[in-house]
Amino acid sequence: MNDKRLLGSAFPGDTGETSPEVASVMRSYATGQATHADVLSTLASARVLVPVVAVLGEVEVDEAGLAHDKTSDMATVLLTGADGRQALLGFTGTAPLQAWQADARPVPVSLRDAAQAAVHDGADALVLDLAGPVPFAIEGDDLHKVAEGWQLATVGPRTAWVRP
Q: Domain spans of the chain? A: 20-162
Of 113, 67, 72, nearest in space to 90 by CA: 113
3-state SS assignment for residue 13:
coil
Percentage of residues of the chain with pLDDT beyond 70: 83
138-147: long-range contacts, CB 8 A cutoff, minimum separation 24:
138/40, 138/43, 139/87, 142/36, 142/40, 143/115, 143/118, 143/119, 144/115, 144/119, 146/40, 146/44, 146/111, 146/112, 146/115, 147/112, 147/115, 147/116, 147/118, 147/119
pTM here?
A: 0.83
Determine the residue type at 45.
S
DSSP letters for 26-58? HHHHHTTSS-HHHHHHHHTTSEEEEEEEEEE--
Write the pLDDT tens digit of every residue in 110-164.
999 999 999 999 999 999 999 999 999 999 999 999 999 999 998 888 889 999 8
Residue 151's pLDDT is 93
Of 87, 108, 86, nearest in space to 97 by CA: 108
Tell me how far apart the alpha carbons of residues 99 and 16 are, in angstroms, rounded to a whole number. 14
Higher model confidence: residue 127 or residue 62? 127
